[in-house]
Structure 1
């Protein structure tokens, strides 16, 4: 049968797409992410979301946190350098005999520093499906942003930055929450903050408090405060990942607004990044995974 189901199972979200060979059909999404599930709950939650698509033996290919230690079935990390997706995938047991479930393993790195990724390797496989000869860096912004050096079809090394999680914590739980607001984007303020953080990343914590002080003393527009917070954190991330992106071609793959912010920051340091859709690259990577023996 050509019909199968592509599943991206994140920490907070489950997303399933009905596939007919390489052609994508309907996509459905729920809040049944890995964080809220016990291992035995994965199969029922998937059937709740997409059970009406299953009318016979059905192959299901999964990436993301379903392969974590606390997930449906642990898919052990593969050590870089290696292709982003390769056989064998991890088989997950299912009570429903119609289901054939395989999970894409994540990637790991021990040197030059310990690091792991789970889910992003599938996006990188999608990038290579879209741009087969790509040699450069895949920038995958998100809660935990990844910078992966890709060459000759392999992930050579990568670096993770907790920028998205730090932004969330500071904007929701710190004193800065009183000085941020709205979703308006002030690119000039953002790029100035990127430049500040790149020039002096060691001053980050002091620069962060300036956002609060500018609000109290100058009634700074909350949108400027939010844009500066984003710029300072992304600028510090660029400083930390400079060995990955300096002088290389960069493809940015993430949520649309976040990808645009990272691309603007990279353009400010002289690069010409290309943006590819994260959802499309995930599906492309899952197609690559499905074709594996």
Structure 2
């Protein structure tokens, strides 16, 4: 196997992912664990990281570890203060290097971004946006990043101009799993796309709070199938999210960064609005963004 040149890390709230990278940019090994930021105290981060990457480190050199995500949050390993938009997606002047006891590595944490009005923050997504710009430097449009908290960012001239967060994924999980709606829903089957589209349309026809209970009522009175109710709820919430996008973003091209069904739901929802969105693999752009940060840290271009 080629020698490990540096290590890329994406450290979220619930998961830690790492990649061993060669000097030529090849991914040599991948690793993942459930030791996300949310389960660790500040003095536990180094050990959690070493559990995953110890075998990739060499005793005769210092390996650069470049990390993004919630590892740099106030509750994380070491806080990397936000950079305020408009700005380049990665504020490399604000990179934080936590103290480590293992002399085989040096860790650099990329800061997130903030917006004052309306108030908003993100961490980790800035690196995916940087990855998109590494692939397409002249991109000017919207970036959609589905997730528990989905992010929409306007990008132009190499900068993040503004962004907005929607708690769509978290709200979907709470409503489908803990509210009264849970009694009439099942999400263990392939997504019913017809029902999903009905939910999208309902987002423009009824106030959200009334439409939500309507799913429960249809289950009781009309026999709405649990799988269809689950898909309708997803469409209803994503439809509301799309309705909430600022007017100034209308007409801009859209790039969805994500994988699997989650990204497909957004692409499908945009298509119903006659918006064609390209989709990029999340791992690809994350690694491209971390590689861009690594080049800067090493003094490259």
- Common fold: TM-score over 0.5: yes
Q: Is the 8 A contact 1:133 1:153 kept in 2?
A: yes
SS at match of 1:291: helix
SS at match of 1:73: coil
Q: What is the alpha-carbon distance in structure 1 between the residues aligned to residue 248 and residue 231 of structure 2?
A: 25
1:26 aligns with 2:29: yes
What is the TM-score with the length of structure 2 in the denominator?
A: 0.93
Q: CA deviation at 1:242?
A: 4.2
Q: What is the alpha-carbon distance in structure 2 between the residues aligned to residue 164 and residue 180 of structure 1?
A: 16
Q: CA deviation at 1:177?
A: 0.9
1:53 aligns with 2:25: no
Corresponding residue number in structure 2 for 1:261: 265
1:123 aligns with 2:125: no
Q: CA deviation at 1:64?
A: 0.2
Q: What is the alpha-carbon distance in structure 2 between the residues aligned to residue 175 and residue 245 of structure 1?
A: 35
Corresponding residue number in structure 1 for 2:100: 94
Aligned residues: 290
Which of 283, 286, 290 does residue 287 from structure 2 map onto? 283
Q: CA deviation at 1:244?
A: 5.8
- 1:88-125, Cα deviation, whole Å (9 max, x unpaired): 221111111111100010000002x0000000000100
SS at match of 1:91: coil
Q: CA deviation at 1:223?
A: 1.4
SS at match of 2:29: strand
Q: Is the 8 A contact 2:97 2:109 kept in 1?
A: yes
CA RMSD of aligned residues (A): 1.3
Q: Is the 8 A contact 2:4 2:28 kept in 1?
A: no
Corresponding residue number in structure 2 for 1:71: 76
Q: CA deviation at 1:245?
A: 4.1
Corresponding residue number in structure 1 for 2:6: 4
SS at match of 2:296: coil
Corresponding residue number in structure 1 for 2:45: 42
Corresponding residue number in structure 1 for 2:155: 150
- 1:5-59, Cα deviation, whole Å (9 max, x unpaired): 1000000000011111322122111100000000110100011111111113111
Q: What is the alpha-carbon distance in structure 2 between the residues aligned to residue 267 and residue 197 of structure 1?
A: 15
Q: What is the alpha-carbon distance in structure 2 between the residues aligned to residue 183 and residue 277 of structure 1?
A: 24
- Structure 2 unaligned blocks of 5 or more: none
Q: What is the alpha-carbon distance in structure 2 between the residues aligned to residue 260 and residue 71 of structure 1?
A: 31
- Structure 1 unaligned blocks of 5 or more: none
Which of 225, 233, 244 does residue 221 from structure 1 map onto? 225
Q: CA deviation at 1:255?
A: 3.2
Which of 158, 170, 174 does residue 165 from structure 1 map onto? 170
Q: CA deviation at 1:219?
A: 2.0
SS at match of 2:91: coil
Q: What is the alpha-carbon distance in structure 1 between the residues aligned to residue 71 and residue 80 of structure 2?
A: 8
Corresponding residue number in structure 1 for 2:216: 212
Q: What is the alpha-carbon distance in structure 2 between the residues aligned to residue 130 and residue 234 of structure 1?
A: 28
What is the TM-score with the length of structure 1 in the denominator?
A: 0.96
